[in-house]
A and B are shown apart, each in its own frame.
Chain A
């Protein structure tokens, strides 16, 4: 078995795990100003407070894993996407500390709430721009990035940035529908309704624009056997969207979130089909960027043993905080 393929799969799974898990808590940040000051905001924050740090660790896993398994790709992509990545990191600083700081400083809670919102929005947008810039192609010469500092900026990358903001916001609304009740849950349902068609339009726009970028995408999707996937994919997304829509109207509270996750998973599979087997589309394949066999093997032993353990205790942590988050009396349990 080719270790390089296994490592490409592990990193793809880490990135997918990041998008699915940090996606909903960034989404709650994006929606944050829409919630009423006081109990609604407190409950929205509490719905993710115990798990956000674990969710964000998958981002470190994606970055660290890329350095370890595909160092050449890491060395080319990060300078190429310098501005959006630095913006993302700084935005994550603001939103990460806001989880603690807003409780510690009631006098400036409005400021930290804004930092939480703006940090979440900028981080999400920067991640979307990063994806778009990667898809549209980056200049590589002699094992290094050779383009300019604004190459990442294009209509397409702004489109992917905006699309991800819409997508994460929908995930966040879905999480709140599942984890809260009362006025906050009703608000989350209300926000989710227009976000769903907006996400479909954004996905359609990105999907239609991608094949017209330079490179392999047209071949990949519109020439047999790509058509085998290209035809049913939109139908599957529409089906999942229908289930989200139904879930918003009735049925168990977890349904909108779960089906939004499925829309994300389908989109992610589409991306994988577009890019495979490159790590930098059209430039560097996974085999060209791969670390030597001994590095991959050493890490694989750890990954095979540890990733199931990690998934186990992460699931346990989610299980501990299962059920609805209360929206009353945060001071209740400590003060007695």
Chain B
């Protein structure tokens, strides 16, 4: 293999590794920030202390997840230049401003109010503190808005021309670029995924404590809230995912062919392949279990609609089928398991047994980390499905890479792997340690807050004076 090919593969491995790791944390913190805002809002509205207890309990976990998201995110903002410099040069005039808006509207907002949210409850009063929490939650959403807009432009590029230097430059209005054809679908699908991921993680923790026999109002409340999310949002997500898939079929049909495992065209109704082993050399799916014509029904709403296969696409323009065939199925299977969990919880709720049925709790516990798996599987599907392009149809991934020698990229990849696995494993252990303890009445705030400032009465004195 030529040195250039090795460097390309190492650079791709490095981006896949760093972005997958990074994506886990925002997927959690987008949902968790909103959950915290809801909890604090409920506390302020009802005055019930168990909402405050839950708020403080999850805020400690949020602080760890957010810190890991920040440091892995800074890496991403430099990966484009260090490893994909040709992409940066060519696409910078279009996606650069989107990312700059992300920094200006989201990162500063989150970072500016995070300190007050974590440490400021006794300094600024309840109303302002709630504002800070909402600002952090809003920041996480705005961040998703811009970065998914940039990503969606790479999937469905519109609104640009190519200048003399070979750069993509805006052709007209920025609205065309921001609201490119796949963006609304990807935004809805991804943000709902983040909410579901968080709900499943919360219910997993709650189920653990229910199974250990803890029936405190704190534990029951978080289990009930998370189960409402699973029951109401999982079906919405399946519908949103279907819409996203139809959008992909319209704009990136090759990706859908690979997801479906359709090597051959089907002129009169394509089967839905449930499982099988894709073989790109033989261009077939071995041991396929398939339902005739169902794929045409799902994608075209017509049993006999013709569907083109990968045989209509030049070999060098096809994505690797095996990876996305499986990642897509993992995502879909988890989505339906979430739906099952939600429906089961509805049944239990109707019977008044939500906090009693141990098998429901066991299922919820097992499903606790499933959102993270689904999010990564979905991300792999859409990103690998775009290959061999970095900007769909216009710029190949192999032409976008930095002029780096393989040893340099390989060494940094090894360093990232070692550091990420050790540091983020430690962080995950700390989160699990916190989650392993049930939320308590009068749950303590983060125990390392700077507590005293000039001109401000220490919190303790205020509480004792009440």
Spell out A's residues near B (CB within 8 Å): 42, 45-47, 49-51, 53-54, 56-57, 59-61, 63-65, 67-69, 71-72, 74-79, 82-83, 85-86, 89-90, 92-94, 96-97, 99-101, 103-105, 143-146, 149, 291-292, 294-295, 298-299, 302-303, 306-307, 310, 313-314, 316-317, 320-326, 329-336
Contact = CB atoms under 8 A, between A and B. Distances in A.
7 contacts: A56-B111, A74-B85, A89-B75, A302-B105, A332-B460, A334-B444, A336-B463
B402 A79 contact: yes
B116 A50 contact: yes
A86 B415 contact: yes
A302 B101 contact: yes
A22 to B, nearest CB: 11
A61 B430 contact: no
A280 B433 CA distance: 48
A46 B450 contact: yes
Which A-B residue pairs are the 4 nearest by beta carbons?
Answer: A71-B92, A50-B115, A323-B454, A78-B81
B124 A324 contact: no
Given A302-B105, A323-B456, A325-B450, A90 B404 contact: no
Contacts of B433: 104
Nearest to A99: B67
Contacts of A324: 452-454
A295 B94 contact: yes
Interface string B37-80: 00000000000000000001000000110011011111101101
A239 B140 CA distance: 45
B73 to A, nearest CB: 8
Contacts of B96: 64, 67-69, 71, 74, 291, 295
B113 A330 contact: no
Given A299-B101, A330-B448, A334-B447, A292 B93 contact: yes
B104 A71 contact: no
B446 interface: yes
B419 A94 contact: yes
Given A83-B408, A97-B427, A295-B94, A67 B80 contact: yes
Given A74-B92, A291-B93, A89 B78 contact: yes
Contacts of B124: 320
B68 to A, nearest CB: 6
Given A53-B114, A100-B64, A307-B104, A326 B450 contact: yes
A64 B100 contact: yes
Contacts of B120: 50, 320-321
A71 B89 contact: yes
Contacts of B99: 64, 67-68
B115 A82 contact: no
A96 B116 contact: no
B333 interface: no
B89 A103 contact: no
B85 A97 contact: no
Interface in B91-127: 91-94, 96-97, 99-105, 107-116, 118-120, 122-124
Nearest to A329: B451
Contacts of A85: 78, 82
Contacts of A77: 81
Given A78-B81, A83-B408, 6 more contacts: A46-B448, A82-B404, A100-B67, A100-B427, A298-B170, A314-B108
B74 A298 contact: no
Nearest to B68: A97
B114 A332 contact: no
A50 B119 contact: yes
B16 interface: no
Contacts of A90: 415-416, 419
A64 B112 CA distance: 18
B100 to A, nearest CB: 4
A101 B89 contact: no
Which of A61, A103, A298, A324: most chain B CB closer than 10 A? A298
A59 B70 CA distance: 12
B434 interface: yes
Nearest to A88: B78
B445 A333 contact: yes
B71 A97 contact: yes
B69 to A, nearest CB: 10
B89 A310 contact: no
Nearest to A81: B82
B289 interface: no
Contacts of B434: 104
B423 A333 contact: no
B403 interface: yes
B405 interface: yes
B451 A57 contact: no
Contact of B447 (A75, A83, A103, A326): A103
A89 B101 CA distance: 22
A323 B448 CA distance: 17
B105 A67 contact: no
Contact of A321 (B75, B102, B112, B123): B123
Given A53-B111, A302-B101, A324-B453, A75 B74 contact: no
A326 B78 contact: no
Contacts of A320: 115-116, 120, 123-124
Nearest to A95: B71
Interface stretch (B161-169, B205-213, B311-319, B375-383): B161-169
A312 to B, nearest CB: 9
A232 B452 CA distance: 43
Contact of B72 (A68, A76, A93, A332): A93
